[in-house]
Chains A and B, each alone.
Chain A
Amino acid sequence: MGYLQKIATLKDEVARNPNVGTWSWLLHRLSGIALALYVFPHFWVISSAILVKPGDPTGFNDRLALVQSEFFHIVEIGLIGVIFYHMLNGIRVTLVDFSPTTRYHKLLLGIAMVVFLGAMFYTLYVFNHHYFHLFGMGGGGHAVP
């Protein structure tokens, strides 16, 4: 079987063990792949903009302005969501690995997801205050192109 075919069988993994833990495992894997693939362009965008002319803010500022449009601020919320999911589920996985909480892994997932929802509401609140100003909230942030 080719690798692509094998990756397509991820849904079989869920079908074999249709529990909430398998879904959290799948989401952890997908969010992990997304973050691992994110970090390389992130390093490239930031580092290459300052590497050639140290002390010259122009190139750096132009580069960073590119990724602070309204579109990228929305993408940023998604990125923070992926980070928070992977972080909170990762804390749960680590707790289950190192402490006798294996029997409570579903409860821990529930707690992690409640914290996740709270963190995402906070993120939306902060981003609205900074950039979007819906419902008449916030203001004073940089102009979003």
Chain B
Amino acid sequence: MRTKRGLWAWLLQRITALGLTVFLFMHVQALHFGTGGRMIDFSLVTERLQGAFAGWWSLFYLLFVPACLFHGLNGLYGILLDYAPSAGFRRFVLVLFWLVGLGMCVFGYFGIRNLFLVPA
């Protein structure tokens, strides 16, 4: 059932995995463990994103969003390859995943960008 996969797909999966380990620790700490039970709302999120570490948080999301999408979609693509699909279907899914991934990346960036903007 195993299929050979590209070296880059494999290596990038490992690199994004290590990044996501750090990112998800920070994400879970900031939004699940570290809230003290406070309701997550606009003020809680913007206090963090517009605070002293605003620059670091923007770098964080700049890397976190595409790493997340690449790791997820590349993982799903690898699972698909295990089932030996036809070359045409494989190509279709590859193009579809890139379009969906890039689209969601832009969508996520624009959404998060608005949380960095100080309300007028």
* A interface residues, Cβ below 8 angstroms from B: 3, 6-7, 13, 29, 32-33, 35-36, 39-40, 43, 46-51, 54-57, 60-61, 64-65, 68, 76, 80, 83, 87, 90-91, 94, 97-98, 123, 126, 129-131, 138, 140-142
Is A94 in contact with B68, judged by CB distance below 8 angstroms? no
For the complex, give the distance between the alpha carbons of A43 and B28 in Å.
15
Is B69 in contact with A39, judged by CB distance below 8 angstroms? yes
Q: Interface size class for chain B?
A: 35 or more
Instruction: Determine which of A3, A7, A142 lies in contact with B39 in the assembled complex, contact meaning CB atoms within 8 Å.
Output: A142
SS class of chain A's interface: helix, strand, loop or mixed?
A: helix
Q: Between A and B, how many residue pairs show CB distances below 8 Å?
A: 98
The smallest beta-carbon distance between A120 and chain B, in angstroms, is 12
SS class of chain B's interface: helix, strand, loop or mixed?
A: helix
Q: Which residue of B lies closest to A43 (CB)?
A: B108
B62 within 8 A of A: no
Is A65 in contact with B39, judged by CB distance below 8 angstroms? yes
Which residues 83-120 in B have Cβ within 8 Å of A in the complex? Answer: 83, 104, 107-108, 110-115, 117-120
